[in-house]
Structures are given as structure tokens and as C-alpha cells.
Amino acid sequence: MRTKITSTVAAHLLLALALLTAGCGGEEGGHHGAQERREDRARRVAEAWDGSAAARTWRAGYHPMGEAVQPPAGGFHAGADTRAFTTQNFVLRGTLPTAGPAEGEVRWGSGDPLVLPLTTAREAYASVARGGDDGPHLTVTGARPGAMTLATSRGPATVPAWLFTLEGYDTPLKRAAVTPSTLPRPPIGPQREVPTSELAPLAGLVEVAGDGRSVRVAAGHGSCDDGPAVHVLETGGSVVLSAFVTGEREGPCAGVLLRKEVTVRLAGRVGDRVLLDAFTGRPVPYGVPNGASPSWHGVSP
């Protein structure tokens, strides 16, 4: 039995992975014509985006492709502090600024800066301090406005940031204060009703290599298969990634959601090309959806 994915734009990942494990026992290999249909879908996604108003809006915006939260210079002193950071277990023992500018500038090496809304110190703190257990914690004693360098869809950018003073550290923890641009409405809808051996959604972007010639992405799969694979279609305006599950097998399967990172080599640099998910028809988001480092927020009407 092959797994089917039915996805809405708002919940494509959770729904797709849930259905993937529910089926958890497919025929060995894919079905006839799957590769042709996968390639056709990638071409249609590229054609829809290349030269579109959505692509122009995307390139004009601020879309983080790196961590919006950066540890103190040199990293954390001990494993307990690293655990506190990853579990977002913070304690506030100080006063956070209650006022600040409403907007700030994002600056790239070339081109005009972009003025965007800023978060408050309290909002920035709340985005990193979501833990609440009795385990190891980091103590924040204050915050001040500053700046940080962050990878974006348009290359490295200098962005406004809140610099949080940590007890025991000489340099601050940085949290980007600028709000990402809204994702433009995609010019093509998501793929529907296909086997995961043909096409599946990506879980997110992990990293773009420093030379721009490869990308590392996360893809989901089940416990009765050989894992995910990712094919690439490159055009002058976009890089379309098509994820699918390989080696699905019949048999009893554990109901678990698995995630694997896949490195995709490119013929040319990513540059300002839009990195797209063939399944969703959207730019591939960086990081965990709704996490501390989202690539975007919302979709324009």
C-alpha cells in the first residue's frame, strides 16, 4: 500500500507526515511514471515563479535563512548551558527596556535598505525563553539594542537586534529584532493526492553552503522505507527541490515520524534565485515552523 498525502497550505507538513506513517508499508520502489510526473511538477512550479510578481516581491523582502538567535561569542561554557539554550529555559533577573523604535533598517552589501517593524525587548525575550522546567537555565540580567549579521534570501544582512546580557558571559546573546517580510502569495497551489514515493513536502531548509553551490534540507519519511531523496531542477530564476520517499515496503511499521537531512548539490550558486519546494509550490522555509527562526510570517492576501 502506498501512502497518500492530502495537504492544505497551512498544515502541509504535519498532515503529510501523519499520513506518511499511517500508511507505513508500501510496495518496493515507486510506480511507473513517477519520475516523469515529479519532473513535470517541478517544471510547472519553476514556470509559475520565474518572472512572477511573487518572485519580485520575495526578492525585495527580508527572509531569514540563518539563525535569528545567536549564542555569545565562543559558544556556551558548559553542556548545561547548551541544554538550557536548546530547551529555551531562561530566567529573567533584571529589567528589560520598555521603549524603543517601532521600525528599523535591514542593510545588505548592496542595494537599498529595507525598513521593517521591530519587536520589543519583551517580545524578543519571550521568543527565546519558552522553557519552564527545573533543569539547567540561563540567567538574563538585561538587554540593549544593537545589531547582528544574518543570512537571508538576499545574502548576508545587518539587522537590528536585542542583545541580552547573560550571567557569567562577557558577550551577549543576540536575537534579531526585525520582523520578517510577509510571504507573497504563491503563483501556484500545492500538489495534492500523490504517493510519497512520487512527491512529498520538505520539512525545511537546514543550511545553504557558504559558496552557494549546495543546500542541506530536512525531509520526512516513515519506518518502512529507505529514507527520502531530493531531486533538483535549476532555472535562471529558481531552484526547485522535489522530495520523495524511496524503498517503501509492506509489513508492520512503527508509527513514528522520521526526519533526515539531505545535501543537494547544485550546478550553479543559489544567488538570488528562489529556493522552492515542488510539493508546496512555496519557498522552502528555514528552520522549524513557528520556531525562533522563521523564514516568514503569514501570507499576503
- pLDDT, tens digit, for every residue of 106-148? 999 888 999 999 999 999 999 999 877 778 999 999 999 999 9
Question: What pLDDT score was predicted for residue 234?
Answer: 98
Residue 3, number of CB atoms within 10 A of its CB: 24
Separation between Cα atoms, residue 80 and residue 57, nearest integer Å = 43
Question: What pLDDT score was predicted for residue 299?
Answer: 56
Question: What pLDDT score was predicted for residue 296?
Answer: 57
In this prediction, residues 86-105 reach a mean pLDDT of 92
Query: What are the Cα distances from residue 94, in Å, to 70, 136, 162, 172, 224?
Result: 20, 19, 15, 14, 51
In this prediction, residues 179-186 reach a mean pLDDT of 89
Question: What pLDDT score was predicted for residue 76?
Answer: 95
**CATH number among 1.10.3470, 2.40.128, 3.30.70, 2.20.28, domain 69-180:** 2.40.128
Question: What pLDDT score was predicted for residue 271?
Answer: 87
- Say if residues 98 and 142 touch (Cβ distance below 8 Å): no
Question: What pLDDT score was predicted for residue 174?
Answer: 97
Mark 89-115 as b/e (b = at least 16 C-beta within 10 Å).
bbeeeeebeeebeeebbbbeeeeeebe
Domain ranges of the chain: 4-60+184-292, 69-180
Question: What pLDDT score was predicted for residue 21?
Answer: 40
When pLDDT is cut at 50, 70 and 90, the band that residue 41 belongs to is: very high
CA-based R_g, the chain, Å:
21
Residue 122, number of CB atoms within 10 A of its CB: 14
- Say if residues 161 and 114 touch (Cβ distance below 8 Å): no
Closest to 258 in 3D by CA, of 283, 224, 288, 285: 224
Share of the chain above pLDDT 90, in %: 57
pTM, two decimal places: 0.80
Question: What pLDDT score was predicted for residue 13?
Answer: 47
